[in-house]
């Protein structure tokens, strides 16, 4: 059968720039035979809260045909092998969420269950993530690749300057034919049947398209203000609703991990870039005033006073009821927001673009495709919400904020996950999961939530041999430290061209 292209999408208008807009422009220009235009205001700055990422971004960069080293240089990026949590479970306590496998599987069963049996038999006093190569390297300040060589692990991510990423992707997209318009949106005209007819700008221009992407941030100019799609408020579940952000001088050590430290009424992040350190405090305004938050962050950073360029952000926690409505798809903050504890902001943009490409419509924007897309994105947002919420629920801190964060009513999906884990130690992961099973095991073990039993298949394996294998894994991880360069030396070579033998 010959395909009828009469209703083919030919024109896409992206409203809003920033990370979401320019990721969409570069990605769709690569994959869709359409005319793509992006309009952004010359007056509205981008938010750029999320500067840490997940390993999926590796595939996004490769799919665009970009050179990773050039991407790193353009985005002032450093590598990220995981997250170190301090003062979260308890004060003076630390645990890790490393990327990648933690020792792998033995006879088809995750190492977690063998580690758990060893703990029960008092034959293994290790922490679960001691078996992670990424944690071993990050803790030692080592890189995951040799200078001039390729990565020795598949699962790693980046710390990056989100503004620089948007600028880089803008160059990529416009060089491939994306039209870049600078104007303020004056009016979005809809037809009353969930379809946008055209967008009018303050310079008098009027642009119509077959498909619109709303990248206008929390205000949702198209999806919410024009089409009336409601926002599902999750502030009663995730109670942090503010952030203050400061920039610190670059740290030459540049450890390959995101540092998260529990605070009085939230948590503080430190993200190392080559030209500065991003530092911010995510907190609950019900438990801490803005002035108190600025003071606590300044004290944490060792500053005598609040920096003049400090920024305060109000967070609208939740998601769209319909991420795709009519001929409009929302991306980034226009589609939802979950606090950046697990660095999911850029990932959720990437997931939406991949889902859109999988369900790419014709001009009818059929309901079945919208339903498929909306279901997949709802699943991603709800899994992310549950995973972030799990961190708070397992904490044993006794400050009023932490008590309140732990006592909220859990979503049924998280209750069921916890019940299954508590009874069996099982972590069930759907095919398109945001986080792998090892991520859940790392948080459970790190916050000392251990199940009543382990997988019974563990008892079918010679445990003496298992213990030898576990020792071999730890020894191999330790040996890797001597074989790989310091992360700071790799960054010096990559960003400055400085050779080193250390």
**pLDDT digit string (tens) for 276-321?**
999 999 999 999 999 999 999 999 999 988 888 899 999 999 999 9
Phi-psi region of 108 (alpha: psi -120 to 50; beta: other; left: phi over 0): left
What structural domains and CATH numbers belong to the chain? Answer: 11-51+161-233+316-383 (3.50.50.60), 82-153+410-502 (no CATH), 244-314 (no CATH)
501 — pLDDT class (breaks 50, 70, 90): very low
Contacts of 313 (CB under 8 A, 6+ apart): 47, 49, 242, 243, 244, 245
Q: What is the residue whose two structure tokens read 């990423």?
A: 165
d(CA 240, CA 389): 11
Q: Is the per-residue pLDDT at 145 higher than 70?
A: yes
- Locate 264 and state its tokens: 């009085």
pLDDT score recorded for residue 48 = 54
371 in active site: no
pLDDT in tens, 362-407: 999 999 999 999 999 999 999 999 999 999 999 999 999 999 999 9
Mean pLDDT of 433-443: 98
The CA distances from residue 146 to 153, 356, 394, in Å, are 11, 37, 37
Model-wide pTM > 0.85:
yes
Q: Active site residue: 30, 80, 468, 474, which one?
A: 80
| CA-wise closest residue to 269 among 285, 286, 254, 257 | 257
pLDDT score recorded for residue 502 = 43
Q: Is the per-residue pLDDT at 2 higher than 70?
A: no
Mean pLDDT of 169-182: 98
d(CA 58, CA 163): 18
- CB atoms < 10 A from the CB of 2, how many? 4
497 — pLDDT class (breaks 50, 70, 90): confident
d(CA 45, CA 60): 25
In the chain, count of helices (H) and strands (E)? 14, 23
Burial class (CB in 10 A: 0-12, 13-18, 19+), 4: exposed
- Locate 61 and state its tokens: 């960069």
pLDDT in tens, 194-232: 999 999 999 999 999 999 999 999 999 999 999 999 999
pLDDT score recorded for residue 46 = 64
| CA-wise closest residue to 178 among 57, 333, 61, 14 | 14
| CA-wise closest residue to 75 among 65, 61, 63 | 61
Identify whether the C-beta of residue 471 lies closer than 8 Å to the C-beta of residue 114. Answer: no
Residues in the chain, overall count:
502
Mean pLDDT of 399-428: 98
């Amino acid at each position: 059968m010959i395909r009828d292209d009469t209703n083919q999408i030919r024109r896409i208008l992206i409203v809003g720039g920033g990370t979401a807009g320019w990721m969409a422009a570069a990605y769709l220009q690569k994959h869709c035979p359409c005319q793509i235009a992006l309009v952004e205001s010359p007056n509205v700055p981008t938010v750029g809260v999320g500067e840490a990422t997940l390993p999926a971004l590796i595939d996004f960069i490769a799919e665009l045909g970009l050179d990773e080293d050039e991407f790193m240089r353009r985005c002032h990026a450093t590598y990220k092998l995981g997250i170190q949590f301090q003062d979260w479970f308890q004060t003076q306590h630390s645990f890790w969420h490393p990327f990648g496998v933690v020792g792998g599987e033995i006879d088809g069963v995750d190492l977690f269950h063998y580690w758990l049996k060893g703990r029960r038999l008092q034959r293994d006093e290790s922490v679960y993530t001691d078996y992670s190569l990424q944690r071993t390297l990050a803790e030692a300040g080592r890189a995951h690749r040799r200078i001039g060589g390729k990565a020795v692990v598949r699962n790693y991510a980046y710390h990056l300057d989100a503004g620089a990423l948007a600028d880089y992707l803008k160059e990529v997209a416009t060089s491939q034919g994306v039209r870049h318009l600078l104007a303020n949106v004056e009016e979005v005209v809809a037809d009353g049947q969930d379809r946008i007819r055209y967008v009018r700008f303050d310079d008098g221009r009027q642009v119509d398209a077959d498909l619109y992407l709303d990248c206008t941030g929390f205000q949702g100019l198209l999806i919410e203000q024009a089409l009336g799609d409601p926002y599902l408020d999750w502030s009663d579940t995730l109670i942090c609703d503010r952030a203050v952000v400061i920039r610190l001088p670059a740290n030459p050590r540049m450890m390959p991990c995101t540092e998260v430290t529990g605070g009085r009424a939230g948590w503080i992040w430190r993200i190392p870039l080559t030209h500065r350190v991003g530092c911010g405090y995510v907190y609950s305004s019900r438990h801490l005033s803005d002035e108190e938050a600025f003071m606590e962050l300044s004290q944490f950073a060792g500053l005598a006073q609040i920096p003049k360029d400090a920024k305060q952000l109000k967070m609208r926690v939740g998601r769209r009821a319909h991420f795709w409505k009519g001929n409009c798809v929302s991306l980034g903050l226009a589609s939802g927001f979950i606090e950046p504890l697990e660095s999911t902001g850029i990932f959720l943009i990437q997931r939406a673009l991949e889902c859109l490409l999988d369900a790419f419509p014709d001009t009818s924007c059929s309901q079945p495709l919208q339903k498929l897309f909306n279901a997949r994105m709802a699943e991603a947002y709800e899994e992310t919400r549950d995973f972030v919420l799990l961190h708070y629920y397992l904490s044993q801190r006794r400050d009023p904020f932490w008590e309140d964060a732990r006592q909220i009513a859990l979503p049924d999906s998280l209750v069921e996950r916890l019940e299954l884990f508590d009874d069996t130690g099982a972590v069930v992961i759907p095919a398109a999961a945001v986080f792998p099973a090892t991520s859940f095991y790392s948080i459970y073990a790190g916050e000392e939530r251990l199940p009543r039993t382990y997988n019974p298949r563990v008892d079918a394996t010679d445990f003496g041999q298992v213990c030898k294998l576990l020792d071999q894994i730890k020894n191999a991880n330790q040996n890797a430290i001597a074989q790989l360069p310091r992360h700071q030396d790799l960054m010096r070579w990559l960003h400055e061209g400085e050779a080193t033998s250390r």
